[in-house]
Structures are given as C-alpha cells and as structure tokens.
Chain A
Amino acid sequence: MYRYDQYDHQIVKERVAQYRDQVRRRLADELTEEEFLPLRLQNGLYMQRHAYMLRVAVPYGMLSSAQVRMFGHIARTYDRGYGHFTTRQNIQFNWINLEQSPDILAELATVEMHAIQTSGNCIRNTTSDELAGVAADEIIDPRPYAEIIREWSTFHPEFAYLPRKFKIAISGSEQDRAATAVHDIGLHVVKNAQGEVGFRFLVGGGMGRTPIIGSVIREFLPWQHALTYLEAILRVYNQYGRRDNKYKARIKILVKALGAEEFGRQVEAEWAEIKDGPATLTVEELQRIAQYFVPPPYATLPASDAGFEAHKADNKAFANWLLRNVKAHKVSGYAAVILSVKKTGVPPGDITAAQLDFVADLADQYSFGEVRITHEQNLVLADVKLSDLFTVWQAVKAQGLATPNIGLLTDIICCPGGDFCSLANAKSIPIAQAIAEKFDNLDFQHDIGEIELNISGCINACGHHHVGNIGILGVDKDGSEWYQVSIGGAQGNNTSIGKIIGPSFSSQQMPVVIERLLDVYVKQRTEEELFIDTVQRLGIAPFKEYVYASPIPTGHTHGEDACV
C-alpha cells in the first residue's frame, strides 16, 4: 500500500500545526464559530448531538495494521472505546473533545493518517473498490489512480470552497463495488479496443434529497489526462454550481439543469485550455505510485488445499461462512475474507478498541499486514491463504466478527441516525437492531438470498437508503419518528433508485413491514430470482398491496395498556 515520503509527511505535519493554531484561536475567540466551522469541517470535526465527532480519512479504504492499531489507541484514549466505519470507507469517533483534537491528528500523523477534507465543501476522500488488486473480475487496479487523485485533491487551492461537498469514486472491475453511479464523479478504469488504459467519466450522481444516477460525459479519456479533465470539471462546477440554495448546490443539479451533453461540452471547452499542460500525468509518476501497489509476496500454492477442503466438508458453520464471507481471489491458493461488522445486537459498523487490535494482529499474521474498509461498513483481509482460513475463522468468530451474513438481510448499511447525528429525523440504529433480531435465523437469511437493506436517519442518505433493495428513511411527522420504505433500489452495475411504497410506519411496525415484503417475494419468486429481480419483474404494486392490506400493530402502548 502507499507509504508517505518526506513530502507527504511534511504536508500533513504542517496541517496539524495549522489546525492546532486554528483551535487555539477559536478558544481565544479570535475566530468566531462561524469562521471556525469550515476550518474544522475540513479537518473532519463535526459538532454532533452529544459531542464532537472526528471523521478520519482512510484513502480508498486501505489501512496498514499499524493504522488499525492507532484507531484502537484513539478509541481508548480519546473516545469511549469504539469507532464507527462509514459508507465512505472512513472511520468516525463519536466522543471527541475539541481541545484534544489537534493531539489526535498529531498521533494520526505518526502512522501516515489525517482527517483532511473528510468533510466540508471540498473534494472529499476518494473511495474505491475494497477488493482492488485482488478481485477475480478486475480489469485494472484502480488504487494507483486513487492515490494520484488523493494527492492532487489534497489542499487544491482552487477547489476548497466549492458550492458543496464533492465526492469521487473509482472502480476498475467488471462489477462496480464502489457505487460510482451515485458519486459527483464516478470513474471507471477501462481499456479501449487498442488495449490502452483510460477512464470513463460519470458525472452528477448523488443521493441526498434529490437522488440522481450519474451520466457518462466521456466514454474514454486516456489516463494521462485524468487530472486536467478533473480540473476542468471542477472549474466549471465551481463557477456555475448554484450557491443560493444549499439543497441545489451539488454538481448533479448543475448537470441536470444544463443537460449532461451541454455540461460535457463546457467541460471539453475548459479542458481544451489546459490539456497537455504540466499537470498531465507521466509514465514515471504512474510507475512511482504503482510500485506501492505491486502484489505482495504471494506463495506459490495449488488452487485447493486438502485441510481446508476437509474442514469445509465436515463443518457446516465454517462452510456457511465461506459461502458468504469469503471471496474469490485472482491468485491461486488465496482468498479475500470479509469480516462482518454486523453482529446482531451491535450497531452496524461499530467496532471496539479490542476488536481493532485483534484485526491488526490478524492482518499481520495472515494477510500481509493490510486491512480494507468496505462501503457496506465491513472489513476485508484481502490475502488469506486457503490453508489458513479455518484458523482465521475460529479466531474471528471468537471476536464476533464472523457472522456469515455478508450480502444477506442482516448485513444492513446504517447511518448513526438520531442516536448521534444532529441532523437526524429519526433513529436508525435501533431499527437495524430490531430487524436484525427478528431475522437472526441464518437458514432463513440464506433462503432469502442476497438482499441489500439500507437505513438512513434523514434524507441526507448517509445510509444509502435510495440504493437499497429495501430502503428505510427516517422522517419526522409532527415531532415523532416515522419510517418511509422504498424498494427496488440497487447499487453496482445496475444502479437504480428505490420507489417509495406508501405512507410511513412507526419504528415498532418496521420488522413486520420487512416480513411482509419478504413474504411477497418468497411467494412470487421464480427459481434463482433474487429479491431485487422479483421487484423489477413485478413492480412495487404487489408488495405495496400486501404490506398495507391489513393493519400492522403499532406497538404503541398508552396508559393501562402499557402494563399488559
């Protein structure tokens, strides 16, 4: 993985010093809160319901074991002993003191980490495929390009005060695992007919209150021009993006207003002015960065392992875990292991300091000291030998990170919601927990098959509810918390936005609503059909009809009823 050289170290060190002084000036009232706000946001510090929250950048989701250990240390020393993985492949700490935040950043800098541009109206952390470099379906490893974009976007002087936040995602596989269609810019690393490497540019995707799928403005751009083309897009957006209304300020609104074709034309005109300038990438630079992402020293192994096969044959629980949590690897004798951070009873994505230490040790022992974060809020050990899988499974199980539910109903994406987030309309973690408890039965989950259930506590869509096969959105009605349900959303190559099935429900009704949706699916599905396929074939009508056909107990108890 990428390692800092003297320049990266220097830049991050100077950032810590700059931020430390900004905090000092805020505390001395030399800066008003209004003036301080964008500064702290660009350092990852949010004011939340109870305390400050610090969002630490994990560039394209890649971590070393030393970095994971540092998270454990921060969780223990400065927080309440845990952290929270996000859909943007970052980690958040929920109980931070403003006064200590410069020290945390200084500690992070010792392991080549920071919180730069994890929030604010600037170019955010670029996200990518958690299986980059190992996926069996990979065309080009996107990580060198992600790192090139990281460096280019870090402290870009022209684009630090954009109309709104700006998110770039990059994927280089047949299957898009980076949700590129719902980012401000989605990049696909592709090869053209001549075998040359380049990018497909999608622009103007996003979720929030106006969910839009990105439009292709260029099918193929040779890789050397990636940065100048990005610059052209950002310059057009910076000048013409709306600033009068924060809800209409994202690039998606501009692209929609102009039409993708006209937007693309303006970008091309801007690009013509800077094309082939000094920011054009060089082969040397690509090679310099790419050498950080060369394959680790894999052993030469056969495609199967006798011990592994034996365990798989006689241990049903192990076999289930393999089926769900272990992914194909491009190197013979290896597999990618997904650690489920979705155990029933624990908020999705929450991890304790002890678990962080454990994962770091495990990575050192079995996976070249490397860990990745998925946008579904899970962890990946990307390079585990088949012969080690059984041992790894046993160790992981003991830590509660082996729930065999990846891609299944209880692998819920869920934002922090009303328990932490000051923007929430409703809680989301308890909804995820109630659903997970009701459908805890793994046989049932395996029978239902792959399904994405995503929950957001408000329309900002941090929990990706729009692209959930089932999406749950917390809404506020007369001061109480309700939940709106949509179905038919999907991420990946066939990204679609879910459709709302009807009036919202109380929290107590939610597990039954999910049960009814699944009942319709189970009755109507054809062999092989996943939930999403059935919804696409039948439309939302039969689901809607059945869910609302008879009253669902609200579970609300009043007066004497409460004692029953």
Chain B
Amino acid sequence: MGRTPVSNVEIIKNRTVVADDWSVLRLSDGETPESVSIPAGKVIVPFSVWQAQRTLLQDRAPLGVWLASDAQADVLKDDLAHFAVIAVDFPKFTDGRGYSIAYTLRTRFAYSGELRAIGDVLRDQLFYMQRVGFDAFAVRADKNIHDALKGLTDFSEKYQTSWDEKTPLFRRVNRQAVSQG
C-alpha cells in the first residue's frame, strides 16, 4: 500500500512561486520498489522504483523520477527522455552531492527538462543550486517560500563557470588591472 504522497502546494520554478501538481513518492518502511503502488496523477518516483517497475512506468506520461544524494547522474543517462521532471533529493541541506549530480546531468548528459531540488531545500543554498542547473525548488514546507525566492538573487556576479554561466569572468569581461598605488 502506498503512503499518500507528499505534495508541495507551491514550488519555485523559473524564479517565481507557482502552484505544483506533482507529488513526490517516497517509500515508507516495509515498502519495496517492486511492490509499491504508484498513485494516479503526476508522480515523481524514486529511481529504485523506476528501475523495478520500468515496464509498467515507461508508457506513463508525464512521469518524474528522483535521485538520492548518493546516486550517480549517469544511472539516468539513457533514460532521460522518459521524464518530465528529474528531482534530486537533499536529505540534509549540508549534503552537497546533489550539486555534482545536477551539474553532471545538465552538462554531460545535456538534460534540458525541469531539474528540481527536493528535501531539505533552504533559502541560503538556492543561489548555488540554480548555478549548477536546478530550475525548480521544493522549499522545505515549514519555510516561507516567498522569502526563499530572495535567495536566488544574492549575487549578481560570479567568478567561475557552472551550468548557468558557461564562460568564467575572466573570459566574459575585460578586467582591467587596478593601479598598484
């Protein structure tokens, strides 16, 4: 029996707060990827469920999948076309593996659909998350999502490349040396 999936009523998408009709399926204790039943509607399933129930799921559209923070981006590399949403889970906001997963999905596997951060998603990490390729944020339910939106604009310049900025500052602008005086 599947637990009622958790639904974020609102998410940040493309820098605005929008209603969200996706639900994220997380396995409860005792549930297995093989046996869990998948509710109707737009569901983001764990990667393990996608693996276990692939034959059932592959004709279902739209479908989302989420990766745990210890996953590698390349597990999805041949399946990207199946998903309308790929989410990456942050079990703790201090777990930074999801940043490398997002970066790799975007740059190496050219994933261009919605890339959503789920889990312990907080305002002060959003700027970095958007830089590595996330364009949607399911901000933790007890936080003010409109406040979190401000986190996306903390900085107006950045030195180094990432997904959002293909050229480093030193190639992008003409930086004049300041006099030593």
User: When the two chains form the complex, which single residue of B100, B158, B178 contacts A5, counting CB atoms closer than 8 Å?
Assistant: B178
**A152 to B168 Cα, complex, angstroms:** 9
Stretch at the interface among B43-51, B52-60, B89-97: B89-97
Q: Which residues 98-112 of B sit at the A interface, judged by CB distance below 8 A?
A: 99-101, 103, 108
**A151 to B176 Cα, complex, angstroms:** 15
Contact A161 B99 (CB under 8 A): yes
Q: How many residues of B contact A (CB 8 A)?
A: 42
Q: Which residues 137-171 of B sit at the A interface, judged by CB distance below 8 A?
A: 147, 154-162, 166-171
Known contacts A4-B178, A158-B162, A279-B161; A238 and B170 CB within 8 A of each other: no
User: When the two chains form the complex, which single residue of A3, A239, A284 contacts B72, counting CB atoms closer than 8 Å?
Assistant: A239
- Could you say which residues of chain A place their CB within 8 Å of the CB of B100? 158, 235, 238-239
Question: Taking the complex as formed, is A159 at the interface, i.e. its CB lies under 8 A from any CB of chain B?
Answer: yes
Contact B97 A11 (CB under 8 A): no
B167 to chain A, nearest CB (A): 5
Q: Which residues 127-177 of A sit at the B interface, judged by CB distance below 8 A?
A: 151-152, 154-163
Contact A238 B99 (CB under 8 A): yes
**A505 to B58 Cα, complex, angstroms:** 68
Contact B159 A158 (CB under 8 A): no
**A48 to B167 Cα, complex, angstroms:** 41
Stretch at the interface among B2-10, B18-26, B27-35, B126-134: B126-134
User: What string of 1s and 0s marks CB contacts (under 8 Å) between A280-295 and chain B?
Assistant: 0110110010011000
Contact B132 A157 (CB under 8 A): yes
**A10 to B175 Cα, complex, angstroms:** 13
Question: Taking the complex as formed, is B81 at the interface, i.e. its CB lies under 8 A from any CB of chain A?
Answer: no
- Could you say which residues of chain B place their CB within 8 Å of the CB of A5? 175-178
Contact A282 B171 (CB under 8 A): yes
Q: How many A-B residue contacts, CB cutoff 8 Å?
A: 117
Contact A160 B167 (CB under 8 A): no
**A238 to B161 Cα, complex, angstroms:** 17
Question: Taking the complex as formed, is B122 at the interface, i.e. its CB lies under 8 A from any CB of chain A?
Answer: yes
- Could you say which residues of chain A place their CB within 8 Å of the CB of B173? 7
- Could you say which residues of chain B place their CB within 8 Å of the CB of A38? 93-94
Contact A35 B162 (CB under 8 A): no
**A134 to B30 Cα, complex, angstroms:** 67
Known contacts A35-B122, A273-B108, A288-B175; A152 and B160 CB within 8 A of each other: yes
Question: Taking the complex as formed, is A39 at the interface, i.e. its CB lies under 8 A from any CB of chain B?
Answer: yes
- Could you say which residues of chain B place their CB within 8 Å of the CB of A14? 154-157
B162 to chain A, nearest CB (A): 5
Question: Taking the complex as formed, is A243 at the interface, i.e. its CB lies under 8 A from any CB of chain B?
Answer: yes
Q: How many residues of A contact B (CB 8 A)?
A: 44
Question: Taking the complex as formed, is A352 at the interface, i.e. its CB lies under 8 A from any CB of chain B?
Answer: no
- Name the residue of chain B whose CB is nearest to the CB of A151: B159
- Could you say which residues of chain A place their CB within 8 Å of the CB of B159? 7, 11, 151-152, 154-155
Contact A291 B177 (CB under 8 A): yes
**A158 to B167 Cα, complex, angstroms:** 16
**A282 to B157 Cα, complex, angstroms:** 20
Contact B96 A162 (CB under 8 A): yes
**A507 to B87 Cα, complex, angstroms:** 56
Known contacts A3-B178, A4-B178, A38-B94; A279 and B168 CB within 8 A of each other: yes
A429 to chain B, nearest CB (A): 32
Q: Which residues 245-282 of A sit at the B interface, judged by CB distance below 8 A?
A: 273, 277-279, 281-282
**A151 to B99 Cα, complex, angstroms:** 19
- Name the residue of chain A whose CB is nearest to the CB of B71: A239
**A103 to B74 Cα, complex, angstroms:** 45
- Could you say which residues of chain B place their CB within 8 Å of the CB of A238? 96-97, 99-100
User: When the two chains form the complex, which single residue of B124, B160, B170 contacts A39, counting CB atoms closer than 8 Å?
Assistant: B124
Known contacts A238-B100, A277-B161; A158 and B132 CB within 8 A of each other: yes
Question: Taking the complex as formed, is A89 at the interface, i.e. its CB lies under 8 A from any CB of chain B?
Answer: no
- Could you say which residues of chain B place their CB within 8 Å of the CB of A4? 178
**A121 to B92 Cα, complex, angstroms:** 14
User: When the two chains form the complex, which single residue of B96, B101, B170 contacts A285, counting CB atoms closer than 8 Å?
Assistant: B170
- Name the residue of chain B whose CB is nearest to the CB of A292: B177
**A10 to B173 Cα, complex, angstroms:** 14
**A282 to B26 Cα, complex, angstroms:** 47
Contact B167 A278 (CB under 8 A): yes
- Could you say which residues of chain A place their CB within 8 Å of the CB of B176? 5
Known contacts A3-B180, A278-B161; A155 and B94 CB within 8 A of each other: no
**A155 to B160 Cα, complex, angstroms:** 9
**A1 to B181 Cα, complex, angstroms:** 10
Contact A292 B132 (CB under 8 A): no
- Name the residue of chain B whose CB is nearest to the CB of A277: B161
Contact B161 A121 (CB under 8 A): no
Contact A157 B128 (CB under 8 A): yes
User: When the two chains form the complex, which single residue of A1, A22, A155, A279 contacts B155, counting CB atoms closer than 8 Å?
Assistant: A155
Contact A157 B131 (CB under 8 A): yes
- Most B-side CB within 10 Å, residue of A11, A35, A161: A161
- Most A-side CB within 10 Å, residue of B159, B166, B179: B159
**A5 to B169 Cα, complex, angstroms:** 12
- Could you say which residues of chain B place their CB within 8 Å of the CB of A279? 160-161, 168
- Name the residue of chain B whose CB is nearest to the CB of A148: B170
User: When the two chains form the complex, which single residue of A162, A235, A278 contacts B171, counting CB atoms closer than 8 Å?
Assistant: A278
- Could you say which residues of chain B place their CB within 8 Å of the CB of A291? 177
User: What string of 1s and 0s marks CB contacts (under 8 Å) between A11-24 and chain B?
Assistant: 10011001000100
User: When the two chains form the complex, which single residue of B103, B108, B155, B177 contacts A158, counting CB atoms closer than 8 Å?
Assistant: B103
B101 to chain A, nearest CB (A): 8
Q: What are the 3 A-B residue pairs with the smallest beta carbon separation, nearest first? A: A161-B96, A157-B131, A157-B128
Given contacts A10-B157, A155-B128, A235-B103, 14 further A-B contacts (CB under 8 A): A4-B178, A15-B155, A35-B93, A151-B159, A155-B155, A155-B158, A155-B159, A157-B129, A158-B96, A158-B99, A160-B96, A239-B100, A239-B101, A292-B180
Q: Could you show 24 A-B contacts with beta carbons less than 8 Å apart?
A: A7-B175, A11-B159, A14-B156, A18-B154, A35-B93, A151-B159, A151-B160, A151-B169, A152-B160, A155-B128, A155-B159, A156-B160, A157-B129, A158-B99, A158-B103, A158-B131, A159-B99, A162-B96, A227-B160, A227-B168, A278-B168, A279-B160, A288-B177, A292-B177
